[in-house]
Amino acid sequence: MASNKPSYLIVGAGVFGVSTAYHLITEHPDASVTIVDRDAFDAYSRVAASWDWNKAVRADYDDIVYCQLAIEAQDVFKSDPLWKPYFHETGVYWICRGEHAQYVINNYRKLGRKADISAVPIDEARKMYGGLFEDADYAGAKEVLLNKTSGWAAAGDCLRAVTRKALDLGVKYVTTEIASLQIENDGRCSGVKTAKGAVLTASHVILCTGAFTPKLLELSAVSSGRNELRAGSRIVAGGITTGMATLDEELYKKFATMPVGFQENPTDPRTGPFIGSLPPTADRELKWWGQTIFKNTREVVPGRFISAPPAEPDYAQWKVPGKLKEDIRYANRVFYGDKGAAWKMEKHRICWDAFTTSGDFIISPHSGSKGLYIATCGSFHGFKFFPVLGKYVVQMLEKSLAPELAEKWAWDRERPDPALNPEWPRAEMKDLIDPVATL
């Protein structure tokens, strides 16, 4: 018998999807909420950008909206027993070549938020933390932003724990690949079709599919004959490399409580993204992310070229070309100079995320299909908002989102030229892959 009760099908179990499920079931304990993902939530390896060893959790933003939102999320990380075990308040050490430190300090001031935050002259900063960053590249740097209230989270462990909690509260989890949206003759979205041909239905379909979103919408546009489903220039899938080195016991002791290191790009601070070094995990693994952010533009369906993660089920995330490994060696050099030259890089991963030109999320109804909603586009900074993302997605679903947020995160809005967005994917993966030997 058909029910008039709303039902929610969330595609994607990254931070956007899981946070949405958690907030929905908390606010509406009787609601029917299902998460669908190609990977089990406790799988050994997953493609989600949210699934990672660790992620920076900071409110050090030039944009006051994200600064405020990140403070709200951090308050949950620091106080709620569900989130607290995963947050480490180690601080951040941010080598600034522009005005970032001043913007952040001003934002905290404007928000009336007290924090142990300061802009430190370089000579003084170099000596801090036992001289950990004394050999970093400070060329062109103005000062170092220190925010002792920021830190990092054990990302994968946190994602698993919150998913488990949502399931305990009544959310269902289905592990399957979604091939396309189920679009009715009147254009309404009534569910999704799995790669095996099954149809899952719901009154609300929320795509939290990260980097795969443009491809899924493209496939759905083709199968339904509705061009208005396409993402167009709204969303671009981009990849970034991470690398890890295992420290010996002695070094681990020195690095264990280090702050998260950030460098405004030494190559070109206007258009190069910031790079970073995250404190070691319990397995003594120190992590970096690189400066090359790239698209993978391919012919997804005949005549349609869009950027998408590689077609392999694991996005070929562990197959990292030499040029991208060099990217991590470079990150190591600009943080630790000669000190890090002998460290062996043991793990490399390419992590895929969905980007918008402004770096804003999309949390919005999709204007091309009733019943379809988009909540994703972390644009390389979405993890830290995990505790509160779902609250805003629920507000969007219930049409109570503050107008300025609804506008900022809209599916249809004016978007800035990506030329001056340092995080915008500029390179192409085909130019980075290792040459194949020919006989």
Ligand X SMILES: Cc1cc2nc3c(=O)[nH]c(=O)nc-3n(C[C@H](O)[C@H](O)[C@H](O)COP(=O)(O)OP(=O)(O)OC[C@H]3O[C@@H](n4cnc5c(N)ncnc54)[C@H](O)[C@@H]3O)c2cc1C
C-alpha angle 27-28-31 in degrees, rounded to nearest 5: 150
Is position 50 an interface residue for ligand X (rule: CB under 6 A)?
yes
Region binding ligand X by CB under 6 A among candidate stretches 22-30, 45-53, 80-88, 413-421: 45-53
CB of 387 to ligand X, least distance (A): 12
The answer to the question of residue 189 lying near ligand X (CB under 6 A) is: no
Nearer to ligand X (CB atom), residue 89 or residue 134: 89
Kindly tell me which of 47 and 388 has the beta carbon lying closer to ligand X: 47
Between 124 and 346, CB nearer to ligand X: 346
Residue carrying structure tokens 């929905």: 24
- Rounded to a whole number of angstroms, the minimum distance from the CB of residue 156 to ligand X is 10
Residue nearer to ligand X on the CB measure, 259 or 382: 382
Q: DSSP letter string over 240-302?
A: EEEEEEEPPHHHHHHHTTPPEEEE--SS-TTTSPPEEEEPP-TT-EEEEE-S--EE-EEEEET
* Separation in Å, CA 200 to CA 3, 153, 230, 313, 368: 15, 34, 21, 21, 20
Nearer to ligand X, 289 or 336 (CB): 289
- Cβ 426 to ligand X, closest distance in Å? 15
Closer by beta carbon to ligand X, 47 or else 132: 47
Residue closest to 307 by CA, chosen among 318, 293, 320: 293
Q: How far is Cα 61 from Cα 160, in angstroms, rounded to an integer?
A: 27
Closest residue to ligand X, based on beta-carbon distance: 378
Residue from the set 32, 33, 35, 55 that interacts with ligand X by CB under 6 A: 55
Site for ligand X in 358-387 (CB under 6 A): 376, 378, 380-384
Would you say 3 or 243 has its CB closer to ligand X?
A: 243
> Are the CB atoms for 35 and 174 separated by under 8 Å?
yes
Q: For 226-261, give one letter per residue: b (16+ CB within 10 A) or e.
A: beebbbeebbbbbbbbbbbbbbeeebbeebeebbbb
Q: Does the protein bind ligand X through residue 178 (CB under 6 A)?
A: yes
Measured N-to-C along each axis, helices 15-27 and 386-397 cross at an angle, to the nearest 10 degrees, of: 60
> Which CB atom, from 178 or from 331, has the smaller least distance to ligand X?
178
User: How far apart (Å, rounded) are the C-alpha atoms in residues 141 and 265?
Assistant: 10
307 binds ligand X (CB under 6 A): no
Contact 389, 19 (CB under 8 A): yes
Sequence letter at residue 154: A
Q: Which of residues 255-294 bind ligand X (CB under 6 A)?
A: 289
Closest distance to ligand X from the beta carbon of 109 (Å): 23
The region of 10-18, 116-124, 298-306, 327-335 touching ligand X under the rule CB under 6 A is 10-18
13-42: which residues touch ligand X (CB under 6 A)?
13-17, 36-39
Tokens for 356? 């918008």
Count interface residues toward ligand X (CB under 6 A): 38
Binding region for ligand X (CB under 6 A) out of 74-82, 204-212, 265-273, 426-434: 204-212
Nearer Cβ to ligand X, position 126 or 424? 424
**Could you tell me the smallest distance in angstroms from the CB atom of residue 155 to ligand X?**
7
Say whether residue 156 binds ligand X (CB under 6 A). no
Neighbouring C-alpha atoms within 13 Å toward the C-beta of 247: 20
Task: Name the token pair of 72.
Answer: 């709200």
d(CA 185, CA 164): 37
By CB under 6 A, name the binding residues for ligand X.
11-17, 36-39, 46-50, 55-56, 177-178, 208-212, 216, 240, 242, 289, 351, 353, 376, 378, 380-384
